[in-house]
Structure 1
Amino acid sequence: MEFPKEEVGKRIRHLRKSQGFTADDIAKKAGVSQSMISQIERGQVSPSLETLWKMSHCLKVPVFSFFEANNQQDVTVTRKNEQVELKRIRPNATYQVLSPSFGKQISLFKLSLAPGEVSDNPLVFHTGEECGVVLIGSIQVEIDNKFYDLDEGDSIYFDSHLSHRFVNKSPQTSIAIWAMTDPM
């Protein structure tokens, strides 16, 4: 599935305008150029997840809300071909959104890390809580300078306000299922 840059751009523009911000306001707060914001909003570029994360904090919305239709349903099914893959600034670390969370309190996604890959550098922190389980391989979770080694079937929970990142210490691509409240 291709990155839905046109839809993402429209949602970002709508959120920005509804909060009374100019593209220049968001550019300055996010540390990117005004032309980059304009290109994102017009669907001309596929921004990195880092850029989307910065923009989400400026707009005070979860980053995953940029990828979801604005519908408040009691039950939502996301088909495999509808799942959106988010590429990090790191080329071999991806998140795949498994369930929409717009207006909801939890997001579910699949984390894939190539051998030796690090999810975030520097470490990230945000509001909410996280938990995950390793399905394939092994992942080292760094949380506030402490390291937790997780093998297949192992799970972890932590408060997201603690600085954290994930490292694949195994010789194969590692895959985990992850849930977050108040997602980035």
Structure 2
Amino acid sequence: MIGRLRGTLLEKQPPWLVVDVAGVGYELEASMTTLVAMPGTGEPVSLYTHLTIRDDAHLLYGFAREQERALFRALIKVNGIGPKLALGILSGMDEDAFVRCVMDDDVKALTRLPGVGKKTAERLIIEMRDRFPHWEQPGELPIGGEGATGTVSTGPADPVADAEAALVSLGYKPAEASRMLVGLEDAESTEALIKAALSRRLAG
């Protein structure tokens, strides 16, 4: 099991990262919360990781914080929640916000996340509530994404197109992803666009 990587950030193209560790490039899929927290390419990074082994692939997921990885691992144990949907949930809200939604039975807020319908939201609340007594209390959990300064420096020079593709990869339909980005074209980077679009969607 690969539990953590420390190296140099080579590429950052949402939702993917490539980290060079002693000459080996590790490709990781990450939530938008983690991507926003990353520095620019060429900078040192340290990521907590989770490895999923399938018959056709070994998939590595990266997290800026151990608590985010812990929530990811808890989410994929819920019936019907796979890694892709778990990353979509983590991209839409941080750990603190998710705990509050569960503890407050906030089905409405959870259904604003990509791929989460009413039944899935209700199942998340029922199954996740019992796990949280073993966690820190809401309000003490780290909140990510604030003050991030990194920018995407590889791939096509079209932040709007990159942001739309990233939102689609999280589970939003293309038309919905496009609507989420309307009026946000002046954002400084792809990550800023994605963060603003997700914030707008959750405020919905």
TM-score, normalised via structure 2 length: 0.26
Structure with more helix by fraction: 2
Structure with more strand by fraction: 1
TM-score, normalised via structure 1 length: 0.28
